[in-house]
Structure 1
Amino acid sequence: MKAITRGLRAGFIGLACTVAATSYAETVLTIGTVNNGDMLRMQGLASAFEQANPGITLEWKVLDENTLRQHITRDIASGSGEYDVITIGMYETPIWGANDWLVPMENLPASYDIDDLFDSVKNGLSANGKLYALPFYGESSMTMYRKDLFDKAGVTMPAQPTWEFMREAASKIHDPANGVYGACLRGKAGWGENVAFITTVANAFGGQWFDTSWEPQIASDAWVTAVNFYVDLLTNYGPPEPFKNGFNENLSLMNEGKCGFWVDATVAGSFVTDPSQSQVADKMAFAPAPSQVTEKGSGWLWAWALAVPVSSDDKDAAMKFATWATSKEYSALVAENFGIAAVPPGTRNSTYENAQYMAEASFAQTTLEQMNKATPEDSTLEENPYTGIQFVTIPKFQAFANKVAEQLAAALEGKTTVEQALDRSSRLVRREMVRDGYIK
């Protein structure tokens, strides 16, 4: 029920909730999640949870990534209790957990096997030694490419491609008259959309968000070179209006056979190789995310995870659902209904110790290697003061990075130059860093 007063809610801060079997009476859990394919699978399979837990009804709010973040951030900051389970990631979790806005993930059943989770994922979802969200899936980024088109063009993918190599490949594959675009990359504005991707490109070119004194570096030569390269690549060899394309839009283009290559989240592997979704499932191959000056920070690290806000009125039931949806039991349910290659990737060691999974998921080895290479504590060529690869784990990042995202999208659309976009971005970021006391 949603009628508990705000004063009573405060008493739950920091309370560890158990997930033991409990009788529930007319409990409605509101779940906020992103409209990515794995989450849509979760929604489709959730009737199994409801059947096993009489009295609990699940109410879904499935939104695009940018909208979800706006809604959940507003809800968590106000403590309004709109959501019982929220889908958040490695950026929000440690910040919100440290603020006591999330219920610690403690007293989990032994069958959950928390030690099976990747250490890098657990660390990214923790604050002050406590886990505050359970990983639904984890990811790095990789290069997904049409091997048939590469072969036809006489292009051989190296073990570690560079961005210069990918540009050359795009120029040979690009065939818009026949509906094939050399490169598909994120261009849609949003800190989790174009900024996340472009940051890894900038990292690869030797850039970083801040120097060790927290002075913004996004107007540096490395960023200017990287973003000009990105804009030029998509302008010459990308699909029409690439500034409108985020993860889901590029996934659709890839599955329709319209992309020569796509550099994006490793989680896409199960979708681009699924014959029921992809017209080119049997033509896909995989390689690491491109490097350039350095491999550091060229592939990101992320996990979408389920957390329970302290403002939820039904914490026990919410914890029970979050535990179920991130468990080995749930993975087995996915495998049974969609095939083993579709199980949520990037969270459990046991997934990658499963010979059947490794054999049937052609993307699995690349995913594992990319996740193992990702080091949020050492993500750039030069030393930096922050944790994070495609984001910076400080509270103000989301706000100013969304403004930077708009500038980058405008440069891609041709409304401004790259230099102007980065100069404006650098000035607005510096202003926010001065306001927050990072810079004197």
Structure 2
Amino acid sequence: MKRFALLTAALGLAQVAQLGNAQAATITIATVNNPDMVTMQKLTPEFNKKYPDITVKWVTLPENELRQKVTLDVASGAGSFDVATVGAYEVPIWAKNGWLDPLTPMFSKNAAIASSYKVNDILPGVRNALTVGGNLYAVPFYAESSMTYYNKDLFKKAGLTMPANPTWTQIQGFAAKIHDPSGGVYGICLRGLPGWGENMALFSTMVNTFGGRWYDPSWQAQLNSPAWKSAMNFYVDTLKKYGPPGATSNGFTENLTLMSQGKCGMWVDATVAAGLLSDPASSKIVNSVGFANAPVGPGTPRGSNWYWSWNLAIPKSTKQEDAAFKFITWATSQEYIALVAKTKGTWASVPPGTRTSTYSNPSYKKAAGAFSSLVLSSINKADVTKATKDPVPYTGIQYVAIPEFQALGTQVGQYLAGALSGQTTVDQALTQAQAAAQKVAKDGKYQK
């Protein structure tokens, strides 16, 4: 009491109140329910050890729902979230719209954080994707490309050998030989859940490598092209014959569960899953999982593996900028990566694809030796400016970097799911998709 009285006399009651308010803050974080983010939420007490005056509240949602809620909130300036988990697609668009706080000035004002955080340790390609007009607008929680996972025990049993650079034709042939639904094993698992970041993330890379594209240089939609038709027929045929039942309900998380339980012979998906499949706490195939590059189709090797990062950003509407900055720099730091390794008991489970220091760390090299170089090379070779056989007016591998794509990609994903479930034919789905893409180009005045 005496101490408080002395402080009051020295500073005045109003200043003491202001001091207390400056020290205490509550932040709300919106994130996707992927395993790495769930780990981040569980480690909140460790953040509070460092910053005891910051209270953290979580809103954790499935990917599609997260995108809808966060986009609406950030665009309207509602201010429900102080930290938002956003993708590589959103960051440059939202930055240009003025929806995000630039982080570069915050690093300049916080010398201690900047010194320990080491922005230049972030992989150059990842850092560049989050930089607009010389300002960093988000920090990467993890970055990924795509690759092929396969069950070596099932391959050995079937007398098969996975090449380092498989083709989609080879993948389908392997799936046919492994597929044993009566034994609880499916030849292949692929994303079927509708969404521009779900089934379309995988399918767009397939379209690329079959020689297709979303638009030609004049912004004329190309979804009724032979390449799109070949890719969609191949995708539907492969999953119907050799995939699990109800594939249209399976996104990243559901397929991760199936693969880790030994129910999939192969899975083509995000490189981030390599660490998850190597974690004995959640995977039954730690000793039998194999890794290869993402498959290529008959058209071109370009765009066969995607580029993506999940990032933490601060919406312009936050009233807790300082506390939010402290959280995002903690959760994407070298310190945090080491904390995950300690908590999980293995460096193979740390958030990948973000820092040079991770890939030069002897402990990580030892734990993730089976896949670390493949993951890094996949991320480094993913080129958002050269993802298609023929010229295009947009950037992006598994997406078209225009604001309208979030809705367009999900709409086309629904048509794709309709063809997979048998509600429509491939031709009907492509007709609908072509009309939707053409309408976006016209309404958005992309066509001259």
TM-score range, shorter chain: over 0.9
1:24 deviates by: 4.3
State the match for 2:347 in structure 1: 340
Question: Does the CA contact (< 8 Å) of 1:89 and 1:304 recur in 2?
Answer: yes
The TM-score with structure 2 as length reference comes to 0.92
Quick one: distance in 1 between partners of 2:131 and 2:137? Answer: 6
State the match for 1:349 in structure 2: 356
State the match for 2:46 in structure 1: 48
AA of the residue aligned to 1:385: P
State the match for 1:329 in structure 2: 335
Alignment deviations for residues 215-268 of structure 1 (CA, whole Å, 9 cap, x no partner): 111221101100110000000000001111000000010111100000000001
AA of the residue aligned to 1:65: E
**Would you say how many aligned residue pairs link Structure 1 and Structure 2?**
419
SS at match of 1:286: strand
Note the 1:176-215 alignment, pairs <5 A. 176-215=181-220
AA of the residue aligned to 2:151: R
SS at match of 1:54: coil
1:33 deviates by: 0.1
State the match for 2:134 in structure 1: 129
Quick one: distance in 1 between partners of 2:135 and 2:431? Answer: 39
Task: Give 2:435's match in structure 1, choosing from 423, 427, 430.
Answer: 427
State the match for 1:303 in structure 2: 309
Note the 1:402-417 alignment, pairs <5 A. 402-417=410-425
State the match for 2:318 in structure 1: 312
State the match for 1:92 in structure 2: 90
1:289 deviates by: 0.4
1:54 deviates by: 2.1
Alignment deviations for residues 367-413 of structure 1 (CA, whole Å, 9 cap, x no partner): 11111110001111111111110011111110111111111110110
Alignment deviations for residues 52-100 of structure 1 (CA, whole Å, 9 cap, x no partner): 1122100000000000000000001100000000000111000001111
Quick one: distance in 2 between partners of 1:371 and 1:171? Answer: 30
Q: Give runs of ≥4 in structure 1 deviating > 4 Å.
A: none
Are residue 34 (structure 1) and residue 32 (structure 2) matched? yes
SS at match of 1:390: coil
Q: Which runs of 5+ in 2 are unaligned?
A: 1-19, 108-113
Question: Does the CA contact (< 8 Å) of 2:337 and 2:350 recur in 1?
Answer: yes
SS at match of 1:33: strand
Note the 1:49-88 alignment, pairs <5 A. 49-88=47-86
1:365 deviates by: 1.7
Quick one: distance in 1 between partners of 2:124 and 2:213? Answer: 25
1:433 deviates by: 1.2
State the match for 2:165 in structure 1: 160
AA of the residue aligned to 2:263: K
Question: Does the CA contact (< 8 Å) of 1:203 and 1:379 recur in 2?
Answer: yes
Question: Does the CA contact (< 8 Å) of 2:194 and 2:417 recur in 1?
Answer: yes
Quick one: distance in 2 between partners of 1:23 and 1:79? Answer: 23
SS at match of 1:102: coil
Alignment deviations for residues 171-220 of structure 1 (CA, whole Å, 9 cap, x no partner): 01001110000010000001100011100011111111111111111221
Are residue 240 (structure 1) and residue 245 (structure 2) matched? yes
SS at match of 1:184: coil
AA of the residue aligned to 2:26: V
1:129 deviates by: 2.4
State the match for 2:7 in structure 1: none
Are residue 392 (structure 1) and residue 400 (structure 2) matched? yes
Quick one: distance in 2 between partners of 1:304 and 1:357? Answer: 21
State the match for 2:10 in structure 1: none
AA of the residue aligned to 1:141: S
Quick one: distance in 2 between partners of 1:171 and 1:313? Answer: 55
AA of the residue aligned to 2:416: L
State the match for 1:14 in structure 2: none
Question: Does the CA contact (< 8 Å) of 2:278 and 2:349 recur in 1?
Answer: no
Question: Does the CA contact (< 8 Å) of 1:24 and 1:56 recur in 2?
Answer: no
**RMSD value over aligned CA atoms?**
1.2
Task: Give 1:438's match in structure 2, choosing from 421, 431, 446.
Answer: 446
AA of the residue aligned to 1:282: N
SS at match of 1:258: coil
SS at match of 1:281: coil
Question: Does the CA contact (< 8 Å) of 2:140 and 2:332 recur in 1?
Answer: yes
Quick one: distance in 1 between partners of 2:437 and 2:300? Answer: 25
Question: Does the CA contact (< 8 Å) of 2:166 and 2:296 recur in 1?
Answer: yes
State the match for 2:17 in structure 1: none
SS at match of 2:187: strand
Quick one: distance in 2 between partners of 1:213 and 1:262? Answer: 36
AA of the residue aligned to 1:136: F
Identity, in percent, stands at 51
As a proportion of its length, which structure holds more helix?
Answer: 2
Quick one: distance in 2 between partners of 1:97 and 1:110? Answer: 25
Question: Does the CA contact (< 8 Å) of 1:24 and 1:55 recur in 2?
Answer: no
Note the 1:263-302 alignment, pairs <5 A. 263-292=268-297, 293-302=299-308
1:162 deviates by: 0.3
Task: Give 1:221's match in structure 2, choosing from 214, 222, 226.
Answer: 226
